[in-house]
Amino acid sequence: MPIAQVIILAVVQGFTEFLPISSTAHLYLSSWLLGWKPETLDFDIALHMGTLLAMLLYFFPDWIQIVAQAFRVGIGHDQQLKGNQGLLWLLALGSIPVGVAGLAFNKQAEGPWRNPYVMGTMLVAVGVFLWLAERVSQGTRELGSLNGPDAILIGLSQAVAIIPGTSRSGITISSGLLRDFSRESAARFSFLLATPAIAAAAAKALYDMHKQSGLGAILNPTFLVGVAVSAATGCAVIAWFLQYLRRGSLRPFVYYRIIFGIIVLALALVRRPPG
């Protein structure tokens, strides 16, 4: 894969993974519209690893505090996290649905569902859902009040994100808003909840690569550039997005999703998708 293509797709991944606009749809459609071949397995691993690295770097202090508190060790000074000593176990509970959905529907998600008709429809549908969630949310709750029903509902919504075009952050933030969390708290829990799921996806991809050709195949400039660019872009986007949500509305992302989804569906009708 040419290095310019690697950089473009890694930047697309870094931007769209953490904004509620669907990274899968943007990566697929970028390659489709530009006439590029589908991403190879090693590049898919690079994007997963870059995304995971971005979350681990940005939320490293949070994870240290969350794990320490779960075992009654007083580390960390974040007041929201201090208010929820069992957050680690709630994250584990919320991660179960996406694990089950991944095992049950992975072939469909990587095969017949990965087409512009499904993606365009989900871009519009989840955009409307995000608009409704923000409209009805009271936005009064913080992470300290998160409980079992919250974790289960948001976890179930993350399972829906295996459908291309959904956006993991888009649907989990929407579900958090429906539980009356503030925009920033909903996004923060969304990113924390995504970490185990993305780590599992990266591990599976590494295992598949090991079966095919051995892990030595990923130690090349393409892989390293993909990881570095997607991780750096992802860290910057997380920082900006959480800062933005303290005062900004999610409506610009709603409008973007709906308009983009309509364009995708229109293009699919006039331009044959890759077979």
Residue 113 lies in a domain: yes
Residue 157 lies in a domain: yes
Residue 275 lies in a domain: no
Which carries the bigger pLDDT value, residue 155 or residue 218?
155
Tell me the residue range of the domain where 206 lies: 3-270
pLDDT at 222: 82
pLDDT at 202: 84
CB-count burial class (<10 Å; 0-12, 13-18, 19+) for 165: buried
Asked if pLDDT for residue 41 goes beyond 60, the answer is no
pLDDT confidence of 43, banded at 50, 70, 90?
Answer: confident
Average pLDDT on 181-204 reads 94
| C-alpha of 207 from chain center | 21
d(CA 102, CA 66): 25
Alpha helices in the chain (DSSP H): 3-18, 23-34, 41-58, 60-70, 79-82, 87-110, 116-136, 148-160, 168-178, 183-212, 221-245, 251-270
Residue 85 lies in a domain: yes
Residue 89 lies in a domain: yes
**Pair 154, 187: CB distance under 8 Å:** no
- Worst-scoring range by mean pLDDT, 17-31, 145-159, 178-192? 17-31
Highest mean pLDDT pick, 18-22, 68-72, 107-111: 18-22
Give 7's contacts (C-beta < 8 A, 6+ positions apart): 225, 229
**Pair 69, 81: CB distance under 8 Å:** yes
Report the predicted TM-score, pTM, of the whole model to 2 decimal places. 0.93
pLDDT at 169: 96
Torsion angle, CA of 54/20/190/7, rounded to 10 degrees?
-10
d(CA 8, CA 249): 28
CA distances from 234 to 99, 106, 139, 252, 272 (A): 23, 25, 26, 19, 32
| C-alpha of 131 from chain center | 19
Hey, what amino acid is at 175? S
Q: Is 28 helix (H, G, I), strand (E, B) or coil?
A: helix
CB-count burial class (<10 Å; 0-12, 13-18, 19+) for 86: middle
Domain count, the chain: 1
List 181's β-bridge partners, or say none: 141
pLDDT at 42: 65
pLDDT at 268: 87
Residue 53 lies in a domain: yes
Residue 217 lies in a domain: yes
d(CA 274, CA 116): 10
Phi, psi of 223 (to 5 degrees): -60, -50
